[in-house]
Chain A
């Protein structure tokens, strides 16, 4: 039905990917390289790091940069470099899981709301708007307060908070994208053919909104490490001694007057990961012919 978008017979996928890669914009290549780097670091970081992530007295407390401790040591003498490496998989897994969760729930709500329309659509839109009206960090804090002290520090809560912040935003985007498709002839034909609502949504709406949703996913994933970091920084995210980067920065911030590198090191890690995600998003959006506003919150 959308035969204009791609050839009917597909050449082998590896050749297609390779040619796509060579034609892809610079930002996508650089972004992918940075992301691959961090994924490799995250995997290796769980297998081997110079010192244990919670090992104290690996050197003197508050040492500066050296070959043994590239990011110095914190007040307990823990090696900040090892902590950053170990923290990579925590940050990446939480960001990914939270964004996927938000995407699945948000896209489902958005597509159903657009397809069914009527009062249901109206109610869903109003509710989404209400959730978006609470600034995301304030909403996150409200969720943390609601969860209460027993759940605080649980990875599941952090994932839930990310999903909660993203769900209404993604739902609104998915609905808008779907509304654009619903009026097209092929959807009408599918309906007239007697396809069930579920089938129309899965076979007509979902494939045609995939591009928008992919870019949206990538965009949101790019902000997730910052959101998780902000929660950790405020003491409402992952709990010590797990070296989530935001928490790491907030722990070492008290001693920034003595050893700035203990904050700059984890800060570089966090910023470079987000640069990678942002460049990837920009490149992806260009390939798929979408506009994207980086840094959208």
Chain B
């Protein structure tokens, strides 16, 4: 009962945040001082063009009315029509979101071993040269912005050791092997950026757990070192890292924007950048909204996960 109430509370909070986000987005793009239509058209603004655009965006209606129409549409799954291409936004999004989900999914799968394996090695060999060495490497990678890391990986595996394609375009005709080759560099970039953020904390957590009494107990009763590490230490060290993983997921949603751009991967992030470049207002609104929704959902899952994993709440 207690758990259920907590979870429902979190879910309602998440929905409230999402509603606020929608207001922020809509206000930012449409209600700011200055005429949206002339801002979009810039130098191409003629009387006729302006009038057509104002009609298209329904700009003569009051702001709150447009907001409610827009929100109502989104709730019903109607995202409206893109300004530049005139296509339905849901049609444009379908492919791109799928591609991005594939990229993000692969990146996330790579992230787990990228974070856990170095942390395990560091925790076992704590304060030895290999621990210090890996700490330095982690710090260096942590200080390398994603667009730079992507460019450097590209230099390494496209220029110096030419094994991978520089451009990760995928289409319907792309084979599985083509997909794999296209995904390696962008996914590895994202996974490394996420992993270095988690490694330090995971290492410290592991060391703390390894020093605890129950680990000593497990060792004393003759359990193999490997079993102690993987069955007892690791799961307990991972629980506090759930929070980090949620933060990493939120990074992932923004990170795909950069990485897709670097590798020309046809996904959601590239779509957002294109939309911002041509000021395609309806498309910007929807893409930003989706990014925020994914973040909020990821956080909600992490919260619920933490509630479910907390034995004190479970029994109560």
A binds B: yes
- Chain A residues at the B interface, C-beta cutoff of 8 Å: 126-127, 129-131, 133-139, 141-146, 148-149, 222, 225-226, 229-230, 233-236, 246, 249-250, 253, 256-257, 260, 263-264, 267, 270-272, 274-275, 277-279, 293-297
List 5 A-B residue pairs with CB atoms under 8 Å apart, sorted by A's residue number. Answer: A138-B253, A138-B292, A141-B273, A146-B28, A249-B151
Segment with Cβ contacts to A, from B17-25, B53-61, B103-111:
B17-25
* B42 at interface, CB cutoff 8 A: yes
CB distance A133 to B292 under 8 Å?
yes
**Distance of A274 Cα from B34 Cα, bound (Å):** 38
* Chain A residue contacts of B88, Cβ below 8 A: none
CB distance B29 to A264 under 8 Å?
no
CB distance B24 to A134 under 8 Å?
yes
**Distance of A212 Cα from B292 Cα, bound (Å):** 28
* Chain A residue contacts of B250, Cβ below 8 A: 135, 297
**Distance of A257 Cα from B23 Cα, bound (Å):** 45
**Distance of A247 Cα from B256 Cα, bound (Å):** 19
* Chain A residue contacts of B143, Cβ below 8 A: 222, 271-272, 274-275, 277-278
Using known A-B contacts A130-B20, A267-B148, determine if residue A142 contacts B279 with beta carbons closer than 8 Å: no
Chain B min CB distance to A52 (Å): 25
CB distance B142 to A294 under 8 Å?
yes
**Distance of A202 Cα from B34 Cα, bound (Å):** 38
User: Whose C-beta in chain B lies nearest to the C-beta of A253?
Assistant: B151
Using known A-B contacts A267-B152, A279-B139, A294-B142, determine if residue A256 contacts B159 with beta carbons closer than 8 Å: yes
Chain A min CB distance to B111 (Å): 14
Q: What class of interface size applies to chain B in its complex with A?
A: 35 or more
Using known A-B contacts A133-B295, A142-B28, determine if residue A270 contacts B145 with beta carbons closer than 8 Å: yes
* Chain A residue contacts of B155, Cβ below 8 A: 256, 260, 263-264
Closest 8 A-B residue pairs measured CB to CB? A135-B254, A226-B145, A130-B20, A137-B254, A274-B143, A148-B39, A275-B143, A233-B147
* Chain A residue contacts of B160, Cβ below 8 A: 260
Using known A-B contacts A137-B258, A264-B155, determine if residue A275 contacts B139 with beta carbons closer than 8 Å: yes
CB distance B20 to A297 under 8 Å?
no
* Chain B residue contacts of A295, Cβ below 8 A: 142, 196-197
* B181 at interface, CB cutoff 8 A: no
**Distance of A126 Cα from B250 Cα, bound (Å):** 18
Chain A min CB distance to B315 (Å): 29
Using known A-B contacts A141-B273, A144-B276, A274-B143, determine if residue A130 contacts B24 with beta carbons closer than 8 Å: yes
Using known A-B contacts A230-B258, A234-B258, A271-B140, determine if residue A148 contacts B145 with beta carbons closer than 8 Å: no
User: Whose C-beta in chain A lies nearest to the C-beta of B145?
Assistant: A226
- Chain B residues at the A interface, C-beta cutoff of 8 Å: 16-18, 20-21, 23-25, 28-29, 32, 34, 39, 42, 139-140, 142-148, 151-152, 154-155, 158-160, 166, 196-197, 200-201, 244, 247, 250-251, 253-255, 257-258, 261-262, 272-273, 275-277, 279, 281, 284, 287-288, 291-292, 295-296, 299
CB distance A278 to B258 under 8 Å?
no
**Distance of A293 Cα from B287 Cα, bound (Å):** 29
**Distance of A144 Cα from B146 Cα, bound (Å):** 20
Chain A min CB distance to B150 (Å): 9
User: Whose C-beta in chain B lies nearest to the C-beta of A246?
Assistant: B147
* Chain B residue contacts of A135, Cβ below 8 A: 250-251, 253-254, 257, 291-292, 295
CB distance A297 to B253 under 8 Å?
no
Contact residue among B24, B151, B291 (Cβ-Cβ distance under 8 Å from A131): B24
* Chain A residue contacts of B17, Cβ below 8 A: 126, 129-130, 133
User: Whose C-beta in chain B lies nearest to the C-beta of A275?
Assistant: B143
CB distance B29 to A230 under 8 Å?
no
* Chain A residue contacts of B152, Cβ below 8 A: 263-264, 267
CB distance A130 to B257 under 8 Å?
no
* Chain B residue contacts of A253, Cβ below 8 A: 151, 154, 262
Chain B min CB distance to A296 (Å): 8
Using known A-B contacts A134-B292, A142-B28, determine if residue A294 contacts B144 with beta carbons closer than 8 Å: no
User: Whose C-beta in chain A lies nearest to the C-beta of B34?
Assistant: A148
* Chain A residue contacts of B273, Cβ below 8 A: 141, 234
CB distance B257 to A271 under 8 Å?
no
**Distance of A126 Cα from B29 Cα, bound (Å):** 20
**Distance of A146 Cα from B275 Cα, bound (Å):** 12
